[in-house]
Structure 1
């Protein structure tokens, strides 16, 4: 069986070779042995404040070479159960969001169609609309599980309908999300008005602010998440500004009093058993990331995404072996 896994760092030092996520093989041709692919979408023309997240995929990959295949927190050697590659970056058109959406769809549809799970490195949050369009081609409307400081449900920004602050309103309007199973967690910071929060709820999304999740606690919130998303297909979108700037200074629109990296990892580790069909992590902006703090957080969160896929495959294999 042809399986893809990271290079052995006992045989090849981490500082050797091109930067791929977790030192996975760099392969741009799909085959049946790929349970997941890592792909970058280096687009930041949808950002409204700091720009530079087009360099996020590169920065995340650079730190990810320190990651190892055994996840002790979940007690699993990931690549005993799944196979994955770094698929490179999807081409984008800087400054042209509609054209970039077309390229995102064209790039992701073959991946999704064959049943491989895409894990996307952003880029700003506007890219998620293109991802959801591709995923809907196979799965129809999916539940959204979003960790973010902002709900991204404005109708327009600077009188423009497509940017990183409008992405989920557009996704709902296009019928890409099952809002009855969707949930947003982590909203905080100053607003232009109460409607910035209420609009998301009026669209049918369940929303919890950072203060609400902290009062409830991560474990209680995990119960809420599992109940909300149910057994159907789910897309997980993680904006790195969910984290407090102490843990993620390198981002486009930082908000104080956010989540710790401990809470973020506890959230993701607690998402076992959910039927994920896609992931992204967006808004890493390396120009503001001293000491690779943000890239370290991002790489480790994505590592937990991969672990969730491995745990699900292990569960399926164990179930077959007991028949």
Structure 2
């Protein structure tokens, strides 16, 4: 049995002490020999209103000290079945948007090249675009564009903002579709809600084949039915999972850049994530945690808990692949 990295034992070093890392795992300089690389992307250069998501990774690290070693429902103990560690933060440029995107892509490409599955914490949702580019170029086995399951209040498929700026946290998936990184017919967006800029704002995405499941439809159908459809749409090919914390109702996750009332409860979000077992996940992220707008670490705790839910699913996938 290979030896895997283990978190710091809370019975030996209390949770409020020691080095702050994701899940209290060792901090490592590279993803070499890892099955899953935990990564921070402290960048919010694409934010159009309430900035602060650049501080998300640090606070999610702090609150992830509350995560323990095994999942209480599935019984999955991720650190017993996969080699996982904190690879630190990707290099960013907080001033130059284009250079910032390039740095994120380059840093993630180095991680993907090792064969590790990336699980990152942003940062605003534009960080997902360079991550998708890196995964698409570096590890795509099938030669097909990636599928994606997106938990979000917003479609993020607008074309431009502020006089033609095509790179904001409201445009990443339009760019990814245009670039051939994402297959729009294998893109499912769950939890979309809130006012829009104009009628037909989502028409372009729908015309490409994107499946948009508005919050009202989710309420009618429930988690089991919705995730079954999402899993059927992405199929067995390589799929990315992106979780924008603004999909959660702001009463439970106030610390985010673009809050929308009427969102998921944290319990509903956990249920949906657990139902992703069996999806061919090649990477995942949690984005838009903005600590300056948080209350008592509530949103950072949501981010850390969602990260652990995804980590358990991904570790179980690693185990199943290893054992055939």
TM-score w.r.t. structure 2 length? 0.95
SS of the aligned residue for 2:242 comes to: strand
Whole-Å Cα distance in 1 between the matches of residues 136 and 157 of structure 2?
19
* 4+ runs deviating over 4 angstroms: none
Q: 2 CA distance for matches of 1:288 and 1:171?
A: 29
Q: Does 121-130 or 187-196 show the bigger shift?
A: 187-196
Determine the C-alpha separation between the residues in 1 that align with 2:112 and 2:153.
Answer: 28
* Range with bigger deviation, 191-200 or 143-152: 191-200
Distance 1:111 1:161 in 2: 27
Distance in structure 2 (CA, Å) of the matches to 1:176 and 1:198? 20
How far apart in 1 are the matches of 2:167 and 2:96?
10
> Deviation at 1:114?
2.1
**Aligned with 1:71: secondary structure?**
coil
- Residue in structure 1 matched with residue 100 of structure 2 by the alignment: 100
TM-superposition CA deviations, 1:184-240 (whole Å, max 9, x none): 111101111232222221122111111111111111101101111100000111100
The two structures, once aligned, show a CA RMSD in angstroms of 1.2
3-state SS in 2 of match to 1:43: coil
Are 1:144 and 2:148 counterparts? yes
Pairwise CA distance, 1:288: 1.2
Contact 2:4 2:80 in 1 (8 A): no
Q: CA deviation at 1:309?
A: 1.4
User: In the alignment, which residue of structure 2 is the partner of 1:184?
Assistant: 189
Matched residue of 2:95: which SS? coil
Structure 2 stretches lacking a partner, 5+ long: none
Cα distance in 2 for residues equivalent to 1:205 and 1:95: 33
Q: What residue in structure 1 maps to residue 200 of structure 2? A: 195
Q: 2 CA distance for matches of 1:115 and 1:212?
A: 37
| Larger displacement relative to structure 2 (72-81 or 214-223) | 72-81
* Larger mean Cα displacement after TM superposition, 106-115 or 163-172: 106-115
Task: Tell me the equivalent position of 1:11.
Answer: 12
CA positional deviation for 1:2: 4.0
Structure 1 match to 2:223? 218
Conserved? CA contact 2:194–2:260, under 8 Å: yes
Report the 3-state secondary structure (helix = DSSP H, G, I; strand = E; otherwise coil) of the residue aligned with 1:65.
helix
Q: What 5-or-longer segments of structure 1 have no aligned partner?
A: none
Instruction: Give the stretch that moved more between structures: 306-315 or 123-132.
Output: 306-315
Contact 2:236 2:279 in 1 (8 A): yes
Q: Is the counterpart of residue 301 in structure 1 residue 306 in structure 2?
A: yes
Rounded Cα–Cα distance in structure 2 between residues aligned with 1:77 and 1:178:
33
Contact 2:39 2:119 in 1 (8 A): yes
Instruction: Say whether 1:282 aligns with 2:283.
Output: no
TM-superposed CA distance for 1:313, in Å, is 2.8
- Alignment partner of 1:110 is 2:110: yes
Aligned length, in residue pairs: 318
The question of whether the paired residues in 1 share the 8 Å contact of 2:92 and 2:100 is answered with yes
Q: Is the 8 A contact 2:31 2:116 kept in 1?
A: no
Kept after mapping to 1: 8 A contact 2:31/2:37? no
CA distance in 1, matches of 2:241, 2:70: 23
| 1:233 aligned residue (215, 238, 248) | 238
Aligned to 2:269: 264
Matched, 1:81 2:59: no
1:109-156 Cα offsets, whole Å, 9 max, x none, are: 121122201111100011111101101112152001101000000110
Q: Please name the residue that 1:48 is paired with.
A: 48
| 3-state secondary structure, aligned to 1:291 | coil
